[in-house]
Structure 1
Amino acid sequence: MTSATRNNPARAVNGGVPEPAGGTSSRRRWLAMAVLLLPVLLVSIDNTVLSFALPQISTTLSPSGTQMLWIIDIYPLVLAALLVPMGSFADRFGRRRMLLIGGAGFTVVSVVAAFAPTAAALIAARAAMGIFGAMLMPSTLSLVRNIFTDRNERRIAIAIWAAGFAAGAALGPIVGGFLLEHFWWGSVFLLAVPVLVPLLVLGPIFLPESRNQTPGPIDFPSIAMVFVAMGSLVLGIKEIAADGVTVLSLAIVALGVAMGVAFVRRQLSLPTPMLDMSLFTRRAFSGAVLVNLLSVFALVGFLYFASQELQLVHGLSPMTAGLVLIPGLIGMVVAGLGSVPAVNRWRPVVVVCFGLALSAVGYALIAGATGSLAVLIGAFTVMAIGIGATETVSNDLIVSAVPAEKSGAASAISETAYEFGAVLGTAVLGSVLNAIYRSKVQSGSGVDASAVDTLGGAHETATGLPAEHASSLIASANDAFASGVGATAGIGALVMIAALGLAAGMLRSAK
Structure 2
Amino acid sequence: MTSTPTLPTPAITRAGVRGWAALGVLMLPTLLVSVDNTVLSFALPAISEALRPSATGMLWIVDIYPLVLAGLLVAMGSLGDRIGRRRLLLIGATGFAVVSAVAAFAPTAELLIAARAALGVFGAMLMPSTLSLLRSVFLDREQRRLAIAIWASGFAAGSALGPIVGGVLLEHFWWGSVFLLAVPVLIPLLVLAPLLVRESRDPAPGPVDVPGIVLSLLTMAPIVYGIKALAVDGFSPVAVLAIGVGAASGALFVRRQLRRPVPMLDMRLFTRPAFSGAVVVNLLSVVSLVGFLFFVSQHLQLVIGLTPLQSGLVLLPGLLTMIVAGLVVVPIARRIRPGVVIAGGLTFSAAGYLLVALTGGGAPWGVLLAAFVLLGAGIGGAETVSNELVISTAPAAKAGAASAVSETAYELGAVLGTATLGTLITASYRATLVVPDGLTAAQADAAGETLGGAVAVAAGLPDALGEQLLASARAAFDSGVGVTAVIGIGLVATAAVVALITLRHVRS
The normalised TM-score by structure 1 is: 0.88
How many residues align structurally?
493
| Structure 2 CA distance for partners of 1:473 and 1:66, relative to 1, 3 Å | closer
| Structure 2 CA distance for partners of 1:54 and 1:341, relative to 1, 3 Å | closer
Residue 137 (structure 2) pairs with residue 147 (structure 1): yes
Give 1:235's aligned amino acid. Y
Give 2:421's aligned amino acid. L
Q: Give the Å deviation of 1:175.
A: 2.0
> How many angstroms apart in 2 are the aligned matches of 1:364 and 1:55?
26
> Which of 379, 383, 386 is matched with 1:387 structurally?
379
Where does the alignment leave 5 or more consecutive residues of structure 2 unmatched?
1-9
> How many angstroms apart in 2 are the aligned matches of 1:52 and 1:168?
14
Alignment-derived partner of residue 14 in structure 1: none
> Which of 423, 431, 450 is matched with 1:431 structurally?
423
What is the RMSD computed on CA atoms of the aligned residues?
A: 2.7
Whether the 8 Å CA contact 1:237–1:427 is kept in 2: the answer is yes
Residue 35 (structure 2) pairs with residue 39 (structure 1): no
> Which of 398, 404, 407 is matched with 2:399 structurally?
407
Give 1:32's aligned amino acid. A
Alignment-derived partner of residue 199 in structure 1: 189
> How many angstroms apart in 1 are the aligned matches of 2:38 and 2:466?
30
The structure whose RCO (Cα within 8 Å, separation 6+) is larger is 2
Partner SS for 2:406: helix
Q: Give the Å deviation of 1:465.
A: 5.2
Whether the 8 Å CA contact 2:63–2:415 is kept in 1: the answer is no
Q: Give the Å deviation of 1:258.
A: 1.0
Report 1:296-307 matches (<5 A).
296-307=286-297
Report 1:256-335 matches (<5 A).
256-335=246-325
Q: Give the Å deviation of 1:471.
A: 4.5
> How many angstroms apart in 2 are the aligned matches of 1:362 and 1:52?
21
Q: Give the Å deviation of 1:417.
A: 0.5
> How many angstroms apart in 2 are the aligned matches of 1:190 and 1:64?
25
Report 1:95-110 matches (<5 A).
95-110=85-100
User: 1:160-182: per-residue Cα shift (whole Å, max 9, x none)?
Assistant: 11111112122223322322333
Q: Give the Å deviation of 1:252.
A: 2.3
The normalised TM-score by structure 2 is: 0.89
Whether the 8 Å CA contact 1:240–1:427 is kept in 2: the answer is no
Give the stretch that moved more between structures: 407-416 or 43-52: 43-52
| Structure 2 CA distance for partners of 1:400 and 1:436, relative to 1, 3 Å | same
Partner SS for 1:499: helix
| Structure 2 CA distance for partners of 1:187 and 1:423, relative to 1, 3 Å | same
Residue 491 (structure 2) pairs with residue 492 (structure 1): no
User: 1:349-370: per-residue Cα shift (whole Å, max 9, x none)?
Assistant: 1110011111111111111123
Whether the 8 Å CA contact 1:237–1:423 is kept in 2: the answer is no
Residue 159 (structure 2) pairs with residue 169 (structure 1): yes
Give 2:210's aligned amino acid. F
Partner SS for 2:480: helix
Give 2:407's aligned amino acid. E
Give 1:378's aligned amino acid. A
Whether the 8 Å CA contact 1:452–1:461 is kept in 2: the answer is no
> Which of 58, 64, 76 is matched with 1:74 structurally?
64
> Which of 326, 330, 335 is matched with 1:340 structurally?
330
Give 1:426's aligned amino acid. T
> How many angstroms apart in 2 are the aligned matches of 1:476 and 1:64?
19
User: 1:102-157: per-residue Cα shift (whole Å, max 9, x none)?
Assistant: 11222223234345567665554433322111000000111112211222211111
| Structure 2 CA distance for partners of 1:242 and 1:274, relative to 1, 3 Å | same
